[in-house]
Homo-oligomer: A and B are copies of this chain.
Amino acid sequence: MTSPRRIVIVGGVAGGASAAARARRTNEHARITVIERGAHASFANCGLPYYVGGEITDRERLLVARPERFRDWLDVELRTGHEAIAIDPRNRRLVVRDLGTGRDETLEWDRLILAPGARPLRPPVPGAHAPNVFTLRDLHDADGLHAAVTGGARRAVVVGAGYIGLELAEMLARRGLGVTLVERLPQVLQSLDPELASVVSDELRRRGVCVRLGQGLAGFELEGGLVRSVTMDHGEGVDADLVVLALGVRPDLRLAEDAGLAIGPAGGIRVDEYMRTSAEGIYAVGDAVEYTHAVTTGPALVPLAGPATRAGRVAGEHAATDAGPPMAPVLGTSIVRVFGVVAGSTGLTRRQAATAGLPVRELLVPGHDHATYYPGASPLVLKVLYHQEDGRLLGAQVVGRNGVDKRLDVLATAIGLGARADHLATLDLAYAPPFGAARDPIHVAGFLAENERRGLDRFLAPNELDALPAGAQILDVRNADERAADPADGTIAIPLGELRARLAELDPTRPVITLCKGGQRAYFASRILRQRGFADVRTTTGGMVAWHGCRGH
């Protein structure tokens, strides 16, 4: 018999609805109340950009958790249009305001679950709150932006090239607006390393989006209270009928801080593996909390729906029963479609691995989504990062047109289960011509990692192309026609098929860097050289993808 405790959940979206459901599943006798500021118990916040862009035409579809479901299926009291004002942790009370009447009421709880989410950042510049400057957090925001884009706006500036910024840039272009995407950093998508991010920015430009990298927002020019132009930090202005600020989010900590809950080093509510905060009886889930990162094992902000849902489940059961399984560490796996290109990442990037002090090796594998002899194969590039000493996978990135989500999920699964990079070579993946190949790019990554770990080869990481060893000879083993179509300056050209006969053209006492289109022939060349007396040979991982994508970054 489970106990008839009172559970109050603040926030329905970011893990709250999930907590309510699990609490009821595990405690039929609890009294469960969900407090939600908005008009709806929950909604599909990841769908908002597609509603703005008109891919999702029916707004009702975004309302995924119906009130009847809370009432009839869950026997949960749902109070929409109510805001949690203050927590009294000592007396286990919560002040709740009815946003309709303005009246306050005090609720008692035995367990409190906070799902406050995160707020979009707004820069502290005049005009940042003008009516034609938008952020996108909830349905209300989406309605406003929807009205603006369907109401005659012609020029949009999107500030920030993260997931939301890219999705909105596409969606606004889809609505026929001229779109300028502004990003302070020199690349889009911080979750990708530069050589892969450039595939995404190339696609944006190809589809007519004006992409301005390395240019920050300095301010706004206003006219009649509306922003008419966005001023860049180089001083130039970009005319705009509307502006979207997609600069990222920050945990909504007001309630938590007022109640004295501990905030962790990453800036989120500190929780343990059962999502318990520092105050007894109070849990927190979703974009406002710090999760444990599966690779660094440190605290991390991961404002994504998947972890929020799973954390809600953990908190709901523990709040309802004082037991249940712990929250699993997270990888921050994420994916975005940008016009015809799909890009995703899981675990750590090169920069994040460096920040975490992890010695990282990098592999870049250009390949295809399925067997090239079957029609419709499209190229993709897969990147794998692994620990230089123990070989365990630290992160992965995939960019392409098709099959990106599949490779990414396989890699996230492997990382989550603690696999080494060379384990990828052994995965028994499904192959039929429309779906893959006997050697998937994932297998190739595993083969290459195994080669490196066993000393058969050594890769030149993409970012090492800018700092080659002294006296290095860069050997390009592509054919003449490939070189003519896509030159690589400063290299020595010997096609792979002629290498054995032309070894005398290379100096075996100096380092050799091998290069080809995708990396395979360069590896072949490296193996020939290594076995024929060359002491220092390295293979350019990813071939021309790395050559073009990294030099100069």
Contact = CB atoms under 8 A, between A and B. Distances in A.
A417 interface: yes
A336 B527 contact: no
Contact of A405 (B325, B406, B419): B406
A23 to B, nearest CB: 11
A412 B428 contact: yes
A55 B62 CA distance: 39
A307 B428 contact: yes
A332 interface: yes
B406 A56 contact: no
A346 interface: yes
Contact of A335 (B310, B374, B431, B497): B431
B28 A528 contact: yes
A498 B71 CA distance: 11
A430 B417 contact: no
A137 interface: no
Interface string A445-465: 001001000101000000000
A359 to B, nearest CB: 23
A416 interface: yes
A218 interface: no
Interface in A420-441: 422-423, 425-436, 438-439
Nearest to A370: B405
A2 interface: yes
A116 to B, nearest CB: 18
Contacts of A527: 24-26, 28
A394 interface: no
A413 B456 CA distance: 26
A222 interface: no
A269 to B, nearest CB: 20
Contacts of A28: 527-528, 531-532
A248 interface: no
Interface string A498-510: 1010000000000
A305 interface: yes
A50 B524 contact: no
A410 interface: yes
Interface string A286-323: 00000000100000000011111110010000000000
A216 interface: no
Interface string A17-41: 0000000111111000000000000
A434 B337 contact: yes
Given A410-B413, A416-B428, A438-B306, A373 B433 contact: no
A170 to B, nearest CB: 11
B410 A373 contact: no
Central interface residue in A374, A430, A447, A500, by most chain B CB within 10 Å = A430
Contacts of A419: 417
B310 A405 contact: no
Interface in A42-62: 44, 46-47, 50, 55-56, 61-62
Given A44-B371, A417-B417, A450-B325, A428 B346 contact: yes
A110 interface: no
B374 A50 contact: yes
A497 B56 contact: no
A410 B407 CA distance: 9
A46 B432 contact: yes
Interface string A362-374: 0000000001111
A85 interface: no
A475 to B, nearest CB: 15
Contacts of A309: 438-439
Contact of A47 (B163, B371, B405, B500): B371
A328 interface: yes
Given A346-B428, A412-B428, A435 B337 contact: yes
Given A55-B374, A373-B61, A373-B64, A72 B430 contact: no
A47 B374 contact: yes
A300 to B, nearest CB: 12
Nearest to A75: B500
Contact of A68 (B375, B439, B497): B497
A426 B306 CA distance: 10
Given A28-B528, A409-B410, 19 more contacts: A2-B531, A25-B456, A28-B527, A47-B371, A50-B433, A55-B374, A55-B375, A72-B497, A305-B431, A306-B439, A307-B428, A310-B426, A328-B428, A335-B430, A335-B431, A337-B434, A412-B427, A413-B429, A417-B417
27 contacts: A1-B531, A24-B527, A28-B528, A28-B531, A46-B431, A50-B374, A55-B374, A62-B373, A64-B373, A73-B521, A163-B432, A167-B432, A294-B428, A305-B438, A306-B438, A309-B438, A309-B439, A328-B425, A334-B432, A342-B435, A409-B430, A410-B410, A410-B413, A412-B428, A413-B417, A413-B429, A417-B418
Closest 3 CB pairs of A and B: A72-B497, A328-B426, A28-B531
